[in-house]
Structure 1
Amino acid sequence: MGTRVSYPYEVKMKAIEMRLAGVPVRKVMETLNIRNKTQVETWMRWYRNGEIHRFEQPVGKQYTFGKGPEYESEQSRLEKENRYLKQQIEVFKKVRRIGEEVVGQVAVDLIDSYKGKVTIQTICAHLGVPRSTYYRWKKLSTDEKSKTALEQKIGDLCKSNKFRYGYRKITALLRKDRLVNHKVVQRVMQKYNWQCRVKVKKRKATGQPYHVAENLMNREFTATQPLQKLVTDITYLPFGGKQLYLSSILDVFNSEIVAYSIGDCQDTTFVLDTLSQIDNLPEGCILHSDQGSVYTSYTYQRAVKAKGITMSMSRKGTPADNAPIESFHATLKSETFYLDGLTRTTTAIVEQTVREYITYYNNTRIQIKLNNQSPIHYRQLVG
Structure 2
Amino acid sequence: MYSFKTEEFEIIELLSRDYDIKTLCQLMGVSRSGYYKWKNRDKSGRDINREAMIALVSEIHEAHPSHGYRWVAAFLRLNYGRSCSDSYIYKVFRCLGIQSQTKHKPHYKPRKVRDLYPNLIFTTWETVDRPRQVIVSDMTVLKPWIFYFELTLYFDVFTKQILSWKLSNRRGGREQYLDGLSDVIELLNGSREPTIIHTDQGSVYSSKAYNELIKDSNIIRSMSRAGKPTDNPVNEALNGWIKEELYMDFRLEECRTEDDVREVLHRYVNFYNKQRPCFALDYDTPDHYCERFNRGELEHRDTFSQRVLSEKPKFMQKKRTTKKK
Gaps in structure 1 of 5+ consecutive residues: 1-167, 173-181, 187-207
* 2:209 alignment partner, SS class: helix
What is the CA–CA distance in structure 1 between the aligned matches of 2:207 and 2:114, rounded to whole Å?
5
The answer to whether structure 1 residue 230 and structure 2 residue 135 are counterparts is: yes
Shift of 1:283: 2.9
Query: In the alignment, does 2:144 pair up with 1:239?
Result: yes
Contact in 2 for aligned 1:210/1:296 (Cα 8 Å): no
**Equivalent position SS for 1:305:** coil
Cα distance between partner residues in 2 of 1:348 and 1:377? 29
Match of 1:154 in 2: none
The residue that corresponds to 1:380 in the other structure is 291
Q: CA 1:282/1:360 → structure 2, altered by over 3 Å: closer, same or farther?
A: farther
Partner of 2:35: none
SS at match of 1:235: strand
Structure 1 residue matching 2:227: 3-state secondary structure: coil
3-state SS of paired residue (2:205): helix
Q: Which residue of 2 aligns with 1:352?
A: 263
Q: Distance in 2 between matches of 1:372 and 1:357?
A: 17
Answer yes or no: is the 8 Å Cα contact 1:237–1:244 preserved in 2. yes
What is the count of residue pairs matched by the alignment? Answer: 186
Structure 2 Cα separation of the partners of residues 296 and 256 of structure 1: 24
* Change beyond 3 A, Cα 1:263–1:210: farther
Deviation at 1:382, TM superposition (A): 1.4
User: What amino acid is aligned across from residue 229 of structure 2 in structure 1?
Assistant: P
Counterpart amino acid of residue 153 in structure 2 = S
User: What is the CA-CA distance between 1:306 and the residue it aligns to?
Assistant: 2.5
Q: Is the 8 A contact 2:115 2:225 kept in 1?
A: no
Contact conserved, 2:129 with 2:158, CA < 8 A, in 1?
yes
What code does the residue aligned with 1:237 have? Answer: L
Partner of 1:62: none
Q: Could you give the per-residue CA deviations for residues 236-282 of structure 1, whole angstroms, max 9, x where no partner exists? A: 01114331111111001110011111112343322110001123244
Once residues 257 and 318 of structure 1 are traced to their aligned partners in structure 2, the CA distance between those partners, rounded to angstroms, is 23
Residue 211 of structure 2 is aligned to residue 314 of structure 1 = no
Q: State percent identity of aligned pairs.
A: 29
Is residue 2:125 matched to residue 1:214? no
What is the match of residue 198 of structure 2?
A: 288
Letter of the structure 1 residue corresponding to residue 285 of structure 2: S
What's the CA shift for 1:369?
A: 2.7
1:79-108 deviation digits (Å, cap 9, x = unpaired) = xxxxxxxxxxxxxxxxxxxxxxxxxxxxxx
SS at match of 1:261: strand
Q: Taking CA–CA contacts closer than 8 Å with sequence separation of 6 or more, which of the two structures ends up with the larger relative contact order?
A: 2
Deviation (angstroms), 1:349: 2.4
Partner of 1:137: none
The separation in 2 between residues aligned to 1:227 and 1:282, in whole angstroms, is 11
Normalised TM-score (structure 1)? 0.44
Aligned to 2:75: none
* 8 Å contact from structure 2 (residues 196, 221) kept in 1: yes
Q: Secondary structure at the match of 1:271?
A: helix
- Are residue 302 (structure 1) and residue 208 (structure 2) matched? no
2:198, 2:252 → 1: CA distance? Answer: 31
Give the Å deviation of 1:321: 1.0
| Alpha carbons of structure 1 residues 209 and 242: separation in structure 2 relative to 1, 3 Å | farther
CA contact (8 A) 1:214 1:313 kept: yes
**In the aligned structure 1, how far is the partner of 2:209 from the partner of 2:133?**
23
SS of structure 2 residue aligned to 1:267: coil
Which structure 2 residues correspond to residues 1-383 of structure 1 after superposition, within 5 A? Answer: 212-222=116-126, 223-265=128-170, 266-278=172-184, 279-280=188-189, 281-339=191-249, 342-343=252-253, 345-346=255-256, 347-383=258-294
> Are the structure 2 counterparts of residues 251 and 342 from structure 1 closer, same or farther at C-alpha, using a change threshold of 3 Å?
closer
Deviation (angstroms), 1:290: 0.3
| TM-score (norm. length: structure 2) | 0.51
For residues 218 and 240 of structure 2, the distance between their equivalents in structure 1, rounded to whole angstroms, comes to: 30
Higher helix fraction (1 or 2):
1
The code of the aligned residue for 1:297 comes to: S
